[in-house]
């Protein structure tokens, strides 16, 4: 089912109206790929980290095209934090890097939308607990 969602999101991106903002499709594709990675991890399937990183690339591309979209940066923070949690036992140095990148993403989301309670709470939790 998730792989079908990836295909649909990719097709939506490919067939976006000329002149339209493809960012919303990139964000949808990013979420779908990251979710696919989490499912693969839960099922002990290969490629889980690559799927999450692919989703993060989609978010970053969307952020580059719409640098004032706080939701995209909040999504980056959420998935970098998730990746840090997933890596903490096997690769603690990489987990720390992802944790730090998650903090940066949430901080940026808050500069764009200081009233974003979810981003503020996530940032508070990340800074209080450390990686993982």
Tell me which residue has tokens 């209080």: 128
Number of domains in the chain: 2
* Predicted pLDDT of residue 125: 94
Distance CA 129, CA 19 (A): 43
Which candidate, 63, 32, 33, 66, places its Cα nearest to that of 50? 33
Domain residues for the domain of 125 are 70-132
Distance CA 14, CA 98 (A): 30
Per-residue pLDDT of the chain (132 residues; tens, 9 = 90+): 556 666 666 676 666 666 667 777 888 889 999 999 999 999 999 999 999 999 999 999 989 888 788 999 999 999 999 999 999 999 999 999 999 999 999 999 999 999 999 999 999 999 998 765
Q: Are residues 103 and 119 in the same domain?
A: yes
Tell me which residue has tokens 């999504």: 75
* Predicted pLDDT of residue 12: 66
Q: Are residues 55 and 74 in the same domain?
A: no
Q: Are residues 83 and 41 in the same domain?
A: no
Beta carbons within 8 Å of 2's beta carbon, 6+ residues apart: 32, 35, 36, 39
Q: Considering Cα of 14, then 18, then 24, then 26, what sign does the dihedral take?
A: positive
Distance CA 70, CA 46 (A): 32
Final residue belonging to a domain, choices 37, 67, 97: 67
Q: Please give the structure tokens belonging to residue 96.
A: 């720390």
Helices then strands (H, E): number in the chain? 6, 0
Q: Are residues 60 and 98 in the same domain?
A: no
Final residue belonging to a domain, choices 67, 91, 121: 67
Find the helix or strand (DSSP H, E) in which 81 lies: helix 70-87
């Amino acid at each position: 089912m998730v792989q079908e969602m990836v295909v649909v999101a990719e097709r939506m991106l490919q067939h976006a109206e000329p002149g339209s903002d493809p960012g919303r499709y990139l964000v949808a594709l990013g979420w779908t790929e990251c979710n696919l990675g989490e499912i693969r991890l839960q099922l002990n399937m290969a490629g889980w980290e690559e799927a999450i990183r692919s989703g993060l690339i989609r978010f970053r591309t969307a952020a580059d095209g719409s640098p004032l979209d706080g939701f995209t940066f909040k999504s980056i923070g959420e998935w970098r934090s998730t990746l840090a949690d997933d890596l903490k036992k096997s690769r603690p140095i990489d987990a720390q890097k992802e944790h730090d990148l998650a903090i940066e993403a949430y901080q940026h989301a808050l500069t764009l939308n200081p009233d974003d309670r979810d981003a503020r709470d996530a940032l508070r939790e990340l800074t209080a607990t450390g990686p993982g």
